[in-house]
């Protein structure tokens, strides 16, 4: 048999952003323009554990179609 594993990982991370604005609306507008994927020092938040969710699907060798008997699972 062939088994297909689907894995989703959620890593609780944090970073800090300090910005100057004249009011809340201006602060939100500035924050929404920031690309959070670049130039930030992301660290483990230290409060929550990483979460991994997985699903194992039995795939028959003959036709490579997925079986309807999947087994979802969760690991913290």
Query: What digits encode the pLDDT tens for the residues 4-63?
Result: 888 888 888 888 889 889 999 999 999 999 998 888 888 888 777 778 787 888 877 765
73 strand-pairing partners: 54
* Location of structure tokens 């689907």: 6
Confidence category of residue 68, pLDDT binned at 50, 70, 90: very low
Q: Cβ neighbours of residue 75 under 8 Å, at least 6 residues apart?
A: 51, 52, 53, 54
Question: Residue 76: is its pLDDT beyond 60?
Answer: no
Assigned token pair, 59? 């795939």
Q: Please tell me the predicted confidence (pLDDT) of residue 72.
A: 53
Number of domains in the chain: 1
Q: To the nearest 10°, report the CA torsion of 16, 19, 21, 24.
A: -10
- Can you give the residue range of the structural domain that contains 47? 2-75
Query: What is the reported pTM?
Result: 0.48
Using CA atoms, how far apart are residues 64 and 72, in angstroms rounded to an integer?
20
């Amino acid at each position: 048999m062939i088994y297909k594993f689907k894995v989703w990982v959620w890593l609780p991370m944090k970073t800090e952003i300090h910005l100057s604005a004249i009011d809340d609306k201006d602060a939100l507008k500035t924050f929404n323009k920031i690309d959070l994927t670049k130039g930030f020092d992301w660290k483990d938040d230290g409060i929550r554990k990483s979460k991994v969710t997985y699903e194992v699907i039995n795939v028959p060798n003959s036709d490579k179609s997925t079986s309807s008997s999947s087994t979802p699972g969760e690991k913290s």
